[in-house]
Structure 1
């Protein structure tokens, strides 16, 4: 009996080991297949930025073909000067005139390296609110190229294997692998809207704009940032956040949002309970009515889009919004926090029609729901103002 059990144990261990070896071979083969395919998809992007004084800055990143017409998707900071940044579209444009004038004096030129050959390209559009952009080759490559297959980043799971392809420090078509470490990473204040995929696949300077790929060979993210002082902390923009605006970028160029003209709490609030919450809200809103403060504190535990400031002569002020209002719906999109409000603002853009904004207003211990109509100006037409 002992001999039989011993033989069974050996068989189990052999099966277990063989299964693991087979899994490793499958994973290795899959990565090899992905690397071979995306060698025909990923490009190196070299951006030359010339300012009004004649100085030139050279930057480098990655991108990947998304169609047969030569459109390349990348990170916006690869094709823009980081200093250009974006304005705070909730409150209004940055008042730093010096920075704005410096930005207007810059011109951009792009070269794309694919399969060892250089091609000129031009700017098509960008969504700097989530750090994505499109450029297009002036002439299609003479060599074969393959558009990427865009996946569904909403289906990504923590722990699944991924591959990152890019050009770290100019080493073209470098492939690294890892897993999805976390999802929905926000509040880093790098971009206006953040919902990063976190991965431990190495992402180094030069990888920005390259694809993050699942084991089915689908792009699920655009590699965007890393913590240089630490290993295994990379962040990618979910591909769904990019693909939703592809056609708008092609049509409108730089996507623009008309400033709403409010300042709201950036994170869920209150974070504690009891008197401290009420005291904090009292200080922020400069309110003293205890019944109103208690009610606002309770509502803010669920919905944190609490208006802290309304700019003079802004669309929000003209519509009637006030400090202390809690925005719960914007143009039909539910709003639970500042992230939701920013996404709704970007999806809405700036149209001719008055946009419905539903708020909860607390007054004299009563909760009132009010729908305002906010009038925005027309969307800005497509422009290449800052590009050659």
Structure 2
């Protein structure tokens, strides 16, 4: 809210200054501007984000909220178990704003993973994300975290892989995780960590926070090489 108010005040102040300059007949100065961008497809990380965003959903489960992403052509959604734990009614919000009911098809609390079955997934035509290989990640590689931090759906943050096999406590036990400095905050849980090729390489799950809470540049994702077989098992069983 503060950022919005500052922008509004700045815009209003700029408008008043412009009007005053015109009123008193001061010569207008044309500042040099870059030529208009040639229309074309997105490139780089912008293209990566555009590729993955349609597959990412917001997850609403009672008072809890998080993120998830579609993993197959049947519209199953992978998220964190802690996002939907104890919830009877689950809603997924698609990237275009549509809201669909869902049920928890299965969960693995030890690995902190859950699969949702979305009502009407076939007619909704949910595009699945492309799963990559976390084993191929390298420290320093660029990644994107996509999700709904603090309820802000479709948020994309960028960073690098800080470590590929950091040992942390996830779910009910100590697990290895992908560490990243891409900004991850409450609400990102269950969303995808994506490499520069638009492939999901992890499930964003936890952050290390200071006393005041919030992101301090240390986030953790469940490696997709471990998450994908668990999701497949939950869907089949």
* TM-score for the superposition, normalised by structure 2: 0.76
Instruction: Flag structure 1 segments of 5+ consecutive residues without an equivalent.
Output: 1-27, 49-57, 82-106, 253-388
2:173 paired residue number: 192
Give the direction of change, closer, same or farther, for the CA distance of 1:196–1:134 in structure 2 (3 Å limit). same
CA contact (8 A) 1:168 1:207 kept: yes
1:154 paired residue number: 135
Distance 2:207 2:116 in 1: 23
Structure ranking higher in strand proportion = 2
- Are residue 233 (structure 1) and residue 218 (structure 2) matched? yes
2:81 paired residue number: 76
CA contact (8 A) 1:129 1:193 kept: no
Q: What are the residue-to-residue correspondences of 1:1-388 with 2, within 5 Å?
A: 29-48=43-62, 58-81=63-86, 108-114=88-94, 115-140=96-121, 144-188=125-169, 190-229=171-210, 231-252=216-237
Q: How far did residue 203 of structure 1 move?
A: 0.3
* Count, aligned residues: 191
* TM-score for the superposition, normalised by structure 1: 0.47
Instruction: Flag structure 2 segments of 5+ consecutive residues without an equivalent.
Output: 1-41
The DSSP-based 3-state class of the residue aligned with 2:205 is strand
CA contact (8 A) 2:168 2:175 kept: yes
Q: Which has the larger radius of gyration?
A: 1
CA contact (8 A) 1:40 1:144 kept: no
Higher relative contact order (CA 8 A, sep 6+): 2
RMSD: 1.7
Distance 2:74 2:122 in 1: 10
The DSSP-based 3-state class of the residue aligned with 2:186 is coil
Q: How far did residue 246 of structure 1 move?
A: 2.3
